[in-house]
Structure 1
Amino acid sequence: MAQSKGYVDPEVLRVMANQLHPIKQRSYGLMHIQPGHKVLDLGCGPGTDTIPLAPLVGVNGQVIGADHDEAMIAEAEHHAEQAGVNTWVRHQRVDAMSLPFETDYFDACRSERLFEHLSNPAQALSEMTRVTKSGGWLVVMDTDWGSLSIDSDETDIERRLARYVAEGYLQNGYSGRKLYRLFKQQNLADISFEVFPAATPNYILARLGMQAERVEQEALRSGVINKEELYRWQMALKQADSEGVYFGSVNLLMVAGRKN
């Protein structure tokens, strides 16, 4: 099956889950989960959040992980079984634009780094709101790829690649900055927002997280850069890494709101 635009493989998601652990924990807290609650993780991937959510709801609760990728769902189910939580944690394939759940079903819903892959995130949030009970909480975290910054003297190439990530590589690369507006448009109450800078001097980790090899090759095919510029760019980054001065950053935004 052809990979979707901006596809992220499970191994990258697992690596990033470790790096984002404190932020993930914050998102769980904003969901106000109690034992016995039913919660939804939309865009669950290989179960990197559904399994940590399991002890929060307990055996009398329910965690549903939902994703469009059948391979991700299969892997998530496998991990839930390995973790011994599969009796109250399940995963299923869904269309985020039309969730197959009853209205007012979940006590809380979350989504993380999904909206950047959606052409209509407003509809996805509308569906999340619909399936959340009155008084329940919604938490969404997404990246503002417009804030991507990599230290380099090749500023022109860096800016072109950064813009390509936000506007060409992803469906909705500016999604993080749009979340507050989307929550307001859903008439959610007690809306809060937080910004988390993700910065690293680790060249290998940074390239893995932003899927740099794939981004660069697609930018090359799209005519955003040429072969000579790509070579210069890659050599500059490798030189920075060898000198121990590589640095890159991007901002993640988390918005929470309560359904009236």
Structure 2
Amino acid sequence: MTSTAFETATPDPIAYLDRVAATDLGRSYKGRMLDELDIRPGQTVLDLGCGPGTDLASLAQAVTATGTVIGVDHDQTTVDAARERTADQHTVTVRLADLHDLPLPGHTADRARADRVLQHVADPTRALREMHRVLRPGGRLVMGEPDWDTLTVDHPDSDLSRAYTQYVTDQVIRNSRIGRQLPRLATQAGFTVPSVIPITHVFRDARAADRILGLERTTRRAVAAGHLTEEGARRWLDHLSTGPFLAAVTLYIVVAES
């Protein structure tokens, strides 16, 4: 079942986040999220689920020296990395905290962003209510989340493609359909949602797709979980690594106002 075309070792989480940010897809949607935030000099901006601080510098540049950027993440290793990366930026602080219970007073921030984090949290509704609580009236939250049910990978055997996507949707990602659910959940949390922006990225290169999707690693897990047979997995990977390749997935940018 192993294909030399694809990665077999799970990448370091921080290295993976940096990798995604450096792709055309990462630069495109992150730039659109920054545009939609419409940050003004002097504002206070939250990066909720900031990871290793990939986006903190661009937020700090937007608020200028008169503003404040607060990164929040639940993982100590990524918080440490974010603090190290922003040590020379006096407008940035990074806090270790849970998005379900933010250590911030109400009406603290003018802007907030949440980038591919709500797909992983235990309770997206509770997290959204916390985001609403800490934003000032008239504040803006911009979220970017994939909808993994939109993942399509072309293969001559469409049953294998369906089985693979179903495994990703049902077993790999906790809140796999959060992209399409965000407008409803944000409205229920007290926000208004003026715009929803779908971004569909098409992969034409199998190796580039693998660096984001982990095709072989995920296929191995699907076999272990009974979603694919060994023989089916072999045919799946053989075609993906040798035949013409096409895959696509849609990420939704949702703009919410408090």
User: How has the CA–CA distance of structure 1 residues 193 and 160 changed in structure 2, closer, same or farther, with 3 Å as cutoff?
Assistant: same
Matched position secondary structure for 2:50: coil
Using the aligned pairs only, state the percent identity: 31
**Structure 1 residues 138-217: aligned runs within 5 Å:** 138-189=141-192, 191-217=194-220
Q: Which amino acid aligns with 1:29?
A: D
Asked if the contact 2:53/2:86 (under 8 Å) is kept, the reply is: yes
Residue matched to 2:238 = 235
Partner deviation per Cα, 1:10-34 (whole Å, 9 max, x = no partner): 2221121122212212211222211
Deviations 1:29-49 (CA, angstroms, capped at 9, x unpaired): 222211111111111111111
Is 2:15 aligned against 1:16?
no
- The TM-score with structure 1 as length reference comes to 0.90
Q: CA deviation at 1:8?
A: 7.6
What does 1:78-97 correspond to in 2, within 5 Å?
78-81=84-87, 84-85=88-89, 87-97=90-100
CA distances 1:55-107 after superposition (whole Å, capped 9, x unpaired):
101122111111111111111112213xx32x111222211111111100011
The answer to whether structure 1 residue 55 and structure 2 residue 61 are counterparts is yes
Query: Alignment partner for residue 67 of structure 1, among 53, 66, 73?
Result: 73
- Please list every run of 5 or more consecutive structure 2 residues that lacks an aligned counterpart in the other structure: 1-9
Match of 2:198, SS? Answer: strand
Measured at CA, do residues 247 and 23 of structure 1 come closer, stay the same or move farther in structure 2, by a change above 3 Å? Answer: same
CA distance in 1, matches of 2:15, 2:247: 21
Please report how far the alpha carbon of residue 7 of structure 1 lies from its aligned counterpart in structure 2 after TM superposition: 9.8
Task: Give the whole-Å Cα distance in 2 for the aligned partners of 1:121 and 1:103.
Answer: 19
Q: Structure 1 residues 105, 8: closer, same or farther in 2, change over 3 A?
A: farther
Q: Over aligned residue pairs, what C-alpha RMSD do you find?
A: 1.7
Question: Which sits farther off after the overlay, 129-138 or 66-75?
Answer: 66-75
Q: Residues 157-197 of structure 1, C-alpha deviation per residue, up to 9 Å, x if partnerless?
A: 11111111111001111110001101221232352111001
* Partner of residue 123, structure 1: 126
Do the aligned residues in 2 keep the contact of 1:183 with 1:191 (CA within 8 Å)? no
Spell out structure 1 runs of 4+ moving beyond 3 A: none
Structure 1, gaps ≥5 residues long: 1-5
**2:245 aligns to what?**
246
TM-score for the superposition, normalised by structure 2 = 0.91
Tell me how far apart the structure 2 counterparts of residues 202 and 13 of structure 1 sit (CA, whole Å).
20
CA distance, structure 2, for counterparts of residue 97 and residue 217 of structure 1: 33
Separation (CA, whole Å) in 2 of partners of 1:71 and 1:205: 27
Tell me, yes or no, if the aligned pair for 2:179 and 2:252 is still in contact at 8 Å: yes
List per-residue Cα deviations over 1:95-132 (Å, max 9, x = no partner): 11111111000111110111111231111111111000
Contact 1:150 1:158 in 2 (8 A): yes
1-side partners of 2:152 and 2:242: how far apart?
17
> Secondary structure of 1:138's match?
strand
Is 1:37 the counterpart of 2:80? The answer is: no
